[in-house]
Chains A and B, each alone.
Chain A
Amino acid sequence: MPMEITPTATDSFKSQEYFINMGPQHPATHGVLRLLLTIDGEIIKKVEPDLGYIHRSIEKMCERDSYQQIVHLTDRMDYLSSHINNEAVCLVVENALGLEVPERVKVIRTIIGELTRIASHCLWWGVMGMDLGAFTTFFLGFRDREMINDIFEETCGARLTMNYNVPGGLMLDIHPNFVNRVKKFVAHFKTKIPEYDELITGNIIFQKRTKGVGILSREDAISFGASGPVARASGYSCDVRKYHPYSALDKVTFTESLKTGGDTLARYEVRIREMWESLSIVEQLIDNIPEGDHRVSTNAVIKLPAGEYYQKVETARGELGVYVISSGTKSPYRLKFRSPGFSNLSVLNHIAVGSKIGDLVAIMATIDLVIPDIDR
């Protein structure tokens, strides 16, 4: 008599979906982000981010703080773009007051902003390599970023959360060594990006892990509000530096790096290209820093006229927006930060479904999330 196959026995061979947690303490999430994965075998069916592990309610704190104090809160959001975040708040205050800052300030802000972008991309490149199993990149990326941090330390007095911008200009003038050290760095880094390409970009394992993985179409990039390199890799031209130039960015020429692939490799290539463009912007400005004051004086207590103000800037991750509703007092009535990471994170479920867990790590690496930027 043949053995009877019970329904439960066949069921156990059917595919079954189940949950696993990725994070909050996972090296690939680069911070305290928890992803709830629904998986079938190794295929991802759904990614649901669970946020809030380091939410500090910066927007609520802003409602009691003065505008000078708010600048200090912003570099705790996307700490790799701290200078650019500070600049956004300073610009919104200066525009609201109708304050014209000296040319010297604009040029120095832009130079340091672009150096910040390079430093952020160096760190991203190092960590991305490590996520994919190439440990050397981590050291190379940090080696070059170290040179930028040393320059910042000398001029701003801090390496990461610089707070060099104040409403009305810069906290201090640049250090006498600044120009020389920046030039030295530019010359040095020009020999290093080809090294990055040699080591990783052409690597066959790297190509296989990234090509065609996590494809984001142009329409979806716009609909999901993606910005920065994530959106530009999908062929969506969205560089705030081009469309709404601020500080000295209207005086320089650079090409917006665009790719049409929309996959992980395209996002990688856009960032490598951006490092070249940032170097070019720094080169155009470093010999032409105008003489003048580094700051115009403002009232000790800044009160913005009642009304609404909006300022966008391009951080290393994309479009940062600062929306201020002022009622004419020393603190904003409401202040909203539109952070690039928050919108970029929302594409994750859309592009990761159907790929494997290993691919998710590669996708996360090129979306380049900084969690405090999401958990403001």
Chain B
Amino acid sequence: MTNEGLQKCINGWFPEQEAGALEFTEEGSQFLNITVQPGQLHQLMWQLKSDSETHFDYLFCLSGVDWGEELGVVYHLESTTHRHIAVVKVKTGDREHPVLDSVCDIWATAEFHEREVFDFFGITFNNHPNLKRLFLTEDWVGFPLRKDYEDEVNMIIK
């Protein structure tokens, strides 16, 4: 499906009063980018996977990003039947206690990837079966991939 087709199809799932919650853009990226509010994340993801028109069954990349004011997650999705790609972004302004919904129940690969994001960005995922640090030790203080992380001993800044 083309990017326009995808956009039309996805907008059709949400009633009019909610439609404004999704933002679509292709600017500065080779894929269609969909920005979603945290509250609608799980519903949108479930639809993207289960709807036969979109059928995004392959989550090939899940990255945490620190945008400065906001923390968030970027999901790269591909359909193995239609071979189209879309990118879903979700952001939260709460840097103290960032919480998002887990998508583990939709794509099994998210379990490890979300643990990585929790480890390095400190984003908590609701309904994650085993959310704990993955690479770092349990007693590590802070979240190293955040932009405001400081470690005078181990970091060399030029």
Partner-B contacts on A (CB < 8 A): 51-52, 55, 57, 59-60, 64, 220, 222-225, 227, 236, 238, 243, 306-310, 312, 319, 321, 323, 325, 334, 336, 338, 342-343, 345-346, 350, 375
Contact = CB atoms under 8 A, between A and B. Distances in A.
Contacts of A338: 60-61, 63, 76
Given A57-B144, A64-B157, A223 B108 contact: yes
6 contacts: A222-B80, A223-B107, A224-B108, A323-B74, A323-B76, A336-B63
Interface in B67-82: 74, 76, 80
B112 interface: yes
B24 interface: no
Interface stretch (B1-9, B27-35, B36-44): B27-35
A225 B111 CA distance: 11
A225 B114 CA distance: 13
A325 B80 contact: no
Contacts of B107: 223, 225
B59 interface: yes
Nearest to B156: A64
A60 B108 contact: no
Given A319-B60, A321-B76, 9 more contacts: A52-B136, A60-B144, A222-B80, A308-B33, A309-B30, A323-B61, A323-B76, A336-B61, A336-B63
Interface in B112-148: 112-113, 116, 134-137, 144-145
Chain B, interface size: which category? 35 or more
Main secondary structure of the interface of B (DSSP, over half): loop
B109 A223 contact: yes
A51 B136 CA distance: 8
B134 A51 contact: yes
B76 A375 contact: no
Given A51-B134, A307-B29, A308-B28, A334 B57 contact: no
A240 to B, nearest CB: 10
A342 B134 CA distance: 12
B30 A310 contact: yes
Contact of A52 (B27, B58, B83, B134): B134
B80 A60 contact: no
B65 interface: yes
A325 B60 CA distance: 17
B135 A55 contact: yes
Interface centre among B31, B109, B111, B157 (most CB of A within 10 A): B109
Interface in B83-122: 83, 87, 107-109, 111-113, 116
Contacts of B111: 346
Contact of B112 (A227, A309, A343): A343
Nearest to A240: B60
Contacts of B53: none
Contacts of A243: 83
Contacts of A375: 135
A225 B59 contact: yes
B112 A321 contact: no
